[in-house]
Amino acid sequence: MPARGGRWAGFWEQRARQLQRQVQAKEERIVELETENAILHLKLAEYQEMTGKSSHAATRFCLLCDEQEGLQRGTRSSLAQLCRVIQKVKQDRKELRSSSLDLLRDCQGQQQDCGSEIVTAVQGAQRHHEAVLAWQSKAGCLEQSLRETTERYQLEKQKRKQLHNRLVETVLVRWDRPGHPWINKTYNFERVYGPAESQRVVFEEVCPLLTSLLDGYNVCIMAYGQTGSGKSYTMMGPHSRKEPVLPVESQGDLGIIPRAAEELFRLISENPSRSPKVAVSVVEVYNNDIFDLLAKDSCAVTSGVKREVLTTKAGKKEIPSLTYESVHSTEEFLTLVDGRLRLRAKHATLVHADSSRSHLIITVTLTTAPSWDSPANRQSDVSLLKEPDCPSPRQPATGRRHSAAHRTSSWSPGAAPEGPTGHMEQVHAKLQLVDLAGSECAGVSGVTGAALRETSFINRSLAALADVLGALSERRGHVPYRNSKLTHLLQDVLGGDAKLLVILCVSPCRKHAAETLQSLGFGTRARQVQRGPARAGRVAPRTPR
Residue 419 is assigned to a ligand binding site: no
Residue 255 is assigned to a ligand binding site: no
Residues 6 or more apart whose CB falls under 8 angstroms from that of 213 comprise 219, 264, 366, 429, 431
Q: How far apart are the first and last CA of the chain?
A: 66
Fill in the amino acid letter for 346. Answer: K
Instruction: List Cα–Cα distances, 350 to 230, 447, 451, in angstroms.
Output: 16, 8, 12
Residues 6 or more apart whose CB falls under 8 angstroms from that of 171 comprise 186, 187, 189, 192, 506, 520
Cα–Cα distance measured from residue 13 to residue 484, given in angstroms and rounded to the nearest whole number:
104
Which string of DSSP letters, residue by residue, matches 351-405? S-TTEE-SEEEEEEEEEEPPPTTSGGGSPP----PPPPSSPPBPPPPTT----PP
Residue 108 is assigned to a ligand binding site: no
Residue 228 is assigned to a ligand binding site: yes
Cα–Cα distance measured from residue 269 to residue 385, given in angstroms and rounded to the nearest whole number:
39
Residue 477 is assigned to a ligand binding site: no
Residue 496 is assigned to a ligand binding site: no
Residue 225 is assigned to a ligand binding site: yes
* DSSP label at residue 482: G
Residue 445 is assigned to a ligand binding site: no
Query: Could you tell me where the beta strands, DSSP code E, fall in 43-93?
Result: none
Cα–Cα distance measured from residue 403 to residue 412, given in angstroms and rounded to the nearest whole number:
24
Asked whether the CA dihedral 468, 473, 204, 497 is positive or negative, the reply is negative
Q: Per the annotation, where are the binding residues?
A: 225-232
Q: Per the annotation, where are the binding residues for ATP?
A: 225-232
